Amino acid sequence: MTVAGVAARFSDEALEATLRNNYGSAVDADLPEELRFVRGVARLAKKRFREGVESPSDMPVLFLLHPSAPPVLSEPRSTRYAPMIDDGRTALGRSVWFVNFAVTEGVGLEMTEEDDAGLFSLVRDEMSLGALPAAIVDTRDGAFNLRYYPEGLNKSELRQLTDLSRRTISPSDVYDALNDIYLRDLCSPSSQTHGTGTWKSAAELRPHEDAEARVQRVLKVGLGAWFTGFTIREEQTQSTGRLDLEIEEPHMDDASTVTRHMLLELKVLRAKHVGGGAYSNSKNLTALRDGLVQARTYRDERNVRASALCCFDMRAVPAGDAGFATVEADAASWGVSLWMWHLFHTDKDYRQSLVEIDEVVVDEEA
Amino acid sequence: MYPVPVDAIHVTSYFADAFASVWKTPALTETVLKTRAVPRNRRLQDAIDRLVGRGLFIPTAISYSATPTGARLAASYSINRDLANRALEVVYADEEWRAQLDLTREVAIGIASLGHDRINQTVLADASYSDPLLDFNTVVDLGPDDGEQSKTADANERLAAVALRTLGQTLTPSELTAFYIRHLYPFTEVPA
């Protein structure tokens, strides 16, 4: 190999071609392995089936999170090894795929079954792999669905269904997702986990120094599970700054071009510094103003369809939507959504808030 | 998991060192002797041997092959999960070790995805290792300390710049690792 040959090998043009041909590789590397698995299957299925690269299969395509050779069956079947399966060049139909959690290589086992019952029996009974995370892509009868079994086909009642034909995400879809993640993983000290908890000392209202990054981490994982067929990106840089979270979808005819559905700018509102000193309200108001401007300018620069300023209020008394009083007029004229969630510093306060909500509902119904 | 051939472990180690600056983690070894085959890291081999002795690595397919200076032991290794999980828990609890483990994992996924018969070829196509200005039996420096950076790090930096300029995307170290290794694929050949 000559010097010129090596230079050509790593030229900008050659690197760009690699980027375009492999777009989406390792984009989920920081997500939990099982989430990475199901999202990898979704991305691969869209490459193969959504634009008709591969015709709909008369049987579902089954993926098992099992990065080893298939077990030996009583009646031997053919297998095929598929390196770089994620590039979408391998025909998937009529196979049971044994893949790694990144879905970058796999072994396909010939599928001779003619119905779902036979397929389930193959995995559960003959191979005894019914406890493995499994994902089924179903393209029959005009459908394009992904059924995910996080605890395997043995517990089929835990199935999670994703419509892979879905092409749009609205701000209200994202709000619903964030609200669900908030209720599960953020709302109270007990709902938070050790590694991503926002409180240094909840009882003293002292937030972690990197509370915002911790919220971002929780939301990224949660959105990844909620929007299985879409890409969740964080910390994207442009000339106006660095955005927090973005939901996008690659175009199937050119995966390196994307539709950017939603941009989220995150702010944590605090009562105290990490050391316990009072955090001035003017700093919180400045954070709101900064966040609003960021949500607008990042959206416009990146041609994102919609944006929202998401605030997580760690103060003792929740401000609610009234906390947006200083920015709501500009937000309305700029088309930026304003969303607020309260991170209760005691479980008791959170419980009390639920009771108060119930009382309001009863009053309204009366 | 499949038992991993010893050469594949050394290839993984090589790229983990080559990507260390991209991931902002310390490299295990910054200098590698360039040969016509997969570079062997003596420290890594010693560590593998110790892990076999402690029962954490299980060797299979053991064989010897003649070399110009004697004989070389080859084997494939799998992890004894029962014992290794405790060690991995300790690794995961340390931020720096965890980052190194994440880097190694992404390298392993990347090179394995090219096909098991191409793994050894990836090193020979790497920007630093294939530098035509470096003769065989000279040292490949993956972490120059004279203000320069390795050719692998340079290629990754340009990959990141191209992604930002043409696609508007800021790539993570994981993505850079995956893209870079995929970039080597056309320059690898399945051994006859």
pLDDT in tens, A55-74: 998 999 999 999 888 998 98
Residue A196 has pLDDT above 90, yes or no: no
Q: Which of A77-81, A316-320, B157-161 has the lowest mean pLDDT?
A: A316-320
Which of A223-227, A284-288, A362-366 has the lowest average pLDDT?
Answer: A362-366
Choose the closest CB to A84 out of B114, B155, B169: B114
Average pLDDT over residues A116-136: 96
- Three-state secondary-structure class, residue B61: strand
Nearest by CB: A236 against B109, B169, B182: B169
Rounded CA separation A230/A168 (Å): 10
Contact, B132 vs A1, CB < 8 A? yes
Query: What length does chain B have?
Result: 192
Residue pair A158/A150 in contact (Cβ under 8 Å)? The answer is: yes
Q: Which of A4, A68, A9 is nearest to B188 (CA)?
A: A9
Q: Which of A227, A168, A176, A188 is nearest to A337 (CA)?
A: A176
The DSSP element (H or E) to which A263 belongs, if any, is strand A254-269
CA dist A136 and A149 (Å) reads 8
End-to-end CA distance of chain A: 83
The answer for residues whose C-beta is within 8 angstroms of residue A339's C-beta and 6 or more apart is A175, A178, A308, A309, A310, A311
Res. B163: pLDDT tops 90:
yes
Q: Could you give the CA distance from residue B58 to residue B78 in angstroms, rounded to a whole number?
A: 5
pLDDT tens column, A299-350 = 999 999 999 999 999 999 888 888 999 999 999 999 999 999 999 999 999 9
E strand or H helix that includes residue A102: none
Min CA distance, A313 vs chain B (Å)? Answer: 28
Which residues fall within 8 angstroms of residue A345, CB to CB, at 6 or more apart?
A: A189, A199, A202, A203, A205, A314, A316
Q: H helices of chain A, where?
A: 3-9, 12-21, 33-45, 116-121, 171-185, 211-226, 281-302, 328-334, 347-365
Answer whether A343's CB lies under 8 Å from A306's CB: no
- Does residue A237 sit at the B interface (CB-CB below 8 Å)? yes
Chain A partners within 8 Å of B36 (Cβ): none
Find the mean pLDDT for residues A94-105.
96
Residue of A15, A238, A256 with shortest CB distance to B183: A15
Burial string for A200-224 (b: 16+ CB within 10 Å, else e) reads: bebeebbbbeebbbbbbebbbbbbb
A354: contact with B, CB 8 A cutoff: no
Contact A22 B178 (CB under 8 A): yes
**Interval A141-192: pLDDT, tens:** 999 999 999 999 999 999 999 999 998 899 999 999 999 999 999 999 999 9
- Smallest CA-to-CA distance from A46 within A113, A117, A96, A103 is with A103
pTM: 0.92
Contact list in A for residue B1 (CB cut-off 8 A) is: 67-68
Contact B40, B10 (CB under 8 A): yes
Indicate if the pLDDT at residue B1 is higher than 70: no
pLDDT (0 to 100) of residue B66: 79
Nearest CA in chain A to B107: A26
Rounded to whole angstroms, the Cα distance separating B183 from B175 reads 12
Question: Is B133 in Cβ contact with A3 (below 8 Å)?
Answer: yes
The per-type count for chain A, helices as H runs and strands as E runs, is: 9, 16
CA torsion through residues A96, A100, A101, A104, sign: negative
ipTM of the complex: 0.90
C-alpha distances out from residue B17 to A102, B25, B46, B143, B150, Å: 22, 9, 17, 8, 11
Cβ neighbors of A29 (< 8 A, separation 6 or more) are A36, A102, B102, B106, B172, B174, B175, B178
The C-alpha atoms of residue A362 and residue B60 are separated, in whole angstroms, by 69
Residues of B in contact with A5 (CB under 8 A): 132
Kindly report the nearest CA distance between residue A292 and chain B, in angstroms.
22
- Banded pLDDT at A115 (limits 50, 70, 90): very high
Facing B162 at nearest CB: one of A6, A12, A238: A12
Kindly determine whether residue A26 and residue B174, on different chains, have CB atoms separated by under 8 Å. Answer: yes
CB contact under 8 A, B158 and A18: no
Contacts of A22 in chain B (CB under 8 A): 178-179, 182
Residues 6+ apart with CB under 8 A from A211: A198, A199, A268, A270, A312, A314
What pLDDT does residue B192 have?
Answer: 67
Residues of chain A numbered 247-306 and touching chain B (CB < 8 Å): 256, 302
With a CB cutoff of 8 Å and minimum separation 6, the contacts of B49 are none
Distance in angstroms (rounded) separating the CA atoms of residues A41 and B160: 26
Distance of alpha carbon A270 from alpha carbon A282, whole angstroms:
11
Lowest mean pLDDT among A138-142, A310-314, B141-145: B141-145
Q: What is the pLDDT of residue A189?
A: 95
Interface test with A, best of B169, B188, B189 (most A CBs within 10 A): B169
Helix axes B81-93, B95-113, angle to 10 degrees: 120
Beta-carbon pairs below 8 A across chains A and B: 109
Res. A361: pLDDT tops 70 = no
Calpha distance B105→B121 (Å, rounded): 19
Most confident of A47-51, A115-119, A359-363: A115-119
Using a CB–CB cutoff of 8 Å, tell me whether B132 touches chain A: yes
Which of A2, A3, A9, A81 is the mutation pick for testing B, counting most B CBs within 10 A? A9
